[in-house]
Amino acid sequence: MGNCRVAVYKRPRPRESPIRIDRRALLAGAAASLAAAPVRSRDGARVIEARAGSLELSPGKTTAIEGFDGQAPGPLLRLRQGEPLDLTLVNALARPTSIHWRGMRGPNAFDGVAPLTQKAVEPGGRFPIRVTPPDAGTFLYHAHAEPDMAAQVERGLYGALIVEENDAPPVDHDVLAILDDWRLDDSGAIAACQSADAGEAGARAFVHSRDELAGAGRRGALVTVNSAPAPFAMEAAPRARARLRLVNAATARLMAVRFEGARAQVIAIDSQPCRAFAPLRDTIPIGPGARFDVVLDLPALEGQTARLILAGEPGEPDRPLVTLTARGAPVEERPPVKAPAPNPLLPAEIRLQAARRLDIGLDSIPGAAGVPACPAGAPTLWRLAPQRPVRAGEPLFAVRRGTPVALGFVNRSPVAQVVRVHGHAMRQLHQLDDGWEPYWRDSVIVAPGRTVRVAFVADNPGRWRLGSGVMEHAAAGMAGFFEVS
């Protein structure tokens, strides 16, 4: 396990600081920075710096990246429920940036969507983050300064925040696996168009080709688990119980993950607990930015292996993501999986009969083929099309705090879309509008030609992003906001 990049840890002892890096994280190439004490600002907040770094993603080749503290993934941050997140973001990059906390239902001012909820942090600037996450769960944090967010995330500006439950289910191993894909050239560098007018060569902007913006989004052939080429191999005692925190940090790849050799039980989705259930056909679809917490027991016999398999996209083979092999003396058989308690801060029901209802089209722009390749700024190739057209700078809809909202996402484009809502947790409705799925989501997948309906209670005031979870689509126009007052 010396070269793996998956954090394997048990519940830590109390420490003086509520924000901490997991010192058991075994990150090749980043061990020194993980072992070092976190830098703190004058007011005692932990400093996290967006800066250049490097990885060895291909044997013997160095890949220049951008990451939080120069790492990809960035430092693993951990809190206990009820403890504050106290950080200062320092921008040591050549371009503005920010941090968005995917799935957090905290105050609007700390959602990190620049310029909607804050100004972007300029090069050399800093931004204080002082918020207590209301919910426990597995969260993804990443850059979100528009329109450069997709390029920055593709270069490595993301990481994980874990807020531990007070009633966490007992497990033998707690494994964080951040999934990503990378498009590299023959030299091992991140393949990208370079803008001719982006200034000096060392600070040239990473921008997308028209095909990446207009198609299904940027995909890379190299699939990694915490920035090490998949698969990650782990050994544990026969019948040992593992909690896998699966996080999709890719900007566009929808990952269909299949479990083989062990019975998997999903206990949380998108940072919210759910009743433990076995996924249909032993497969879960993990959209860009989505998180799944899964508990599984290793096989009972020495040498047997449980595997997580990534289904190949058209023209690609299936490939293993994680293998867990039973080694050593067996442990006692574990009792049935106990999921964390339901989140009492979320509503027990949503009054659909009183909901503000709105259908929103997910459209591609006709005539986009005329957009030149490698543009200096993202062109408008996608759009959200609500029933009532809105002008630039206007919300898609505005509601009073506490209003139930029911939205229909109508995909009129030729590719699958992922639609996400910030600051709130939502239920995916049944097609007949007679109930909802028994778990909460912050994003949903909408197949071409299909409509997906969701509902939530707008209980978090502010201006909140609503748009594509495929970051290239959001950068190219499929993004708006709604307002809760």
254 contacts: CB under 8 Å, gap ≥ 6: 285, 286, 287, 288, 416, 418, 445
- Contact between 381 and 213 (Cβ < 8 Å): yes
Q: What is the pLDDT of residues 311-324, one digit of tens each?
A: 988 888 999 999 99
Q: Are residues 116 and 31 in the same domain?
A: yes
Q: What is the pLDDT of residues 189-209, one digit of tens each?
A: 998 755 444 444 334 456 666
Q: Are residues 193 and 162 in the same domain?
A: no
Confidence of residue 1 (pLDDT cuts 50, 70, 90): very low
Checking if the pLDDT of 276 tops 50, the result is yes
Let me know if residue 146 belongs to a domain.
Answer: yes
- Contact between 110 and 161 (Cβ < 8 Å): no
Let me know if residue 331 belongs to a domain.
Answer: no
Choose among 264, 225, 189: nearest CA to 72: 225
**Calpha distance 378→213 (Å, rounded):** 8
Checking if the pLDDT of 420 tops 60, the result is yes
Q: Are residues 159 and 43 in the same domain?
A: yes
Q: Are residues 317 and 192 in the same domain?
A: yes
The better pLDDT of the pair 250, 40 is held by 250
| Joined tokens for residue 29 | 């190439």
Let me know if residue 66 belongs to a domain.
Answer: yes
- Do you know the residue count of the chain? 485
Let me know if residue 334 belongs to a domain.
Answer: no
Judged by DSSP in three states, 215 sits in: coil
pLDDT at 3: 34
Q: Are residues 311 and 184 in the same domain?
A: yes
391 contacts: CB under 8 Å, gap ≥ 6: none
Domain boundary among 273, 308, 326: 326
Q: Are residues 201 and 108 in the same domain?
A: no
Domain boundary among 139, 166, 193: 166
Q: Are residues 152 and 40 in the same domain?
A: yes
Let me know if residue 472 belongs to a domain.
Answer: yes
Judged by DSSP in three states, 358 sits in: strand
Q: What is the pLDDT of residues 290-301, one digit of tens each?
A: 999 999 999 999
Q: What is the pLDDT of residues 216-242, one digit of tens each?
A: 788 889 999 999 999 999 999 999 999
What is the residue range of 455's domain?
352-484
**Calpha distance 121→25 (Å, rounded):** 29
Checking if the pLDDT of 7 tops 50, the result is no
Among 97-106, 117-126, 197-206, the range scoring the smallest mean pLDDT is 197-206
Let me know if residue 340 belongs to a domain.
Answer: no
Let me know if residue 287 belongs to a domain.
Answer: yes
Confidence of residue 153 (pLDDT cuts 50, 70, 90): very high
Domain boundary among 117, 142, 166: 166
Choose among 26, 54, 78, 35: nearest CA to 233: 26
Q: Are residues 427 and 278 in the same domain?
A: no
Choose among 93, 89, 57: nearest CA to 75: 89
Q: Are residues 114 and 201 in the same domain?
A: no
Checking if the pLDDT of 2 tops 80, the result is no
Burial string for 421-449 (b: 16+ CB within 10 Å, else e) reads bbbbbbbbbeeeeeebeebbbbbbbbeee
pLDDT at 44: 66
Q: Give the chain's domain count.
A: 3
**Calpha distance 309→312 (Å, rounded):** 9
**Structure letter (DSSP) for residue 169:** P
pLDDT at 390: 85
Among 56-65, 351-360, 374-383, the range scoring the smallest mean pLDDT is 374-383
Amino acid at 430: H
Q: Are residues 245 and 372 in the same domain?
A: no
Let me know if residue 338 belongs to a domain.
Answer: no
Find the CATH number of the domain harbouring 384: 2.60.40.420
Q: Are residues 158 and 194 in the same domain?
A: no
| Joined tokens for residue 13 | 């002892």
Q: Are residues 103 and 59 in the same domain?
A: yes
pTM: 0.89
| Joined tokens for residue 361 | 């089209």
Q: Over the chain, what is the mean pLDDT?
A: 86
Confidence of residue 76 (pLDDT cuts 50, 70, 90): very high
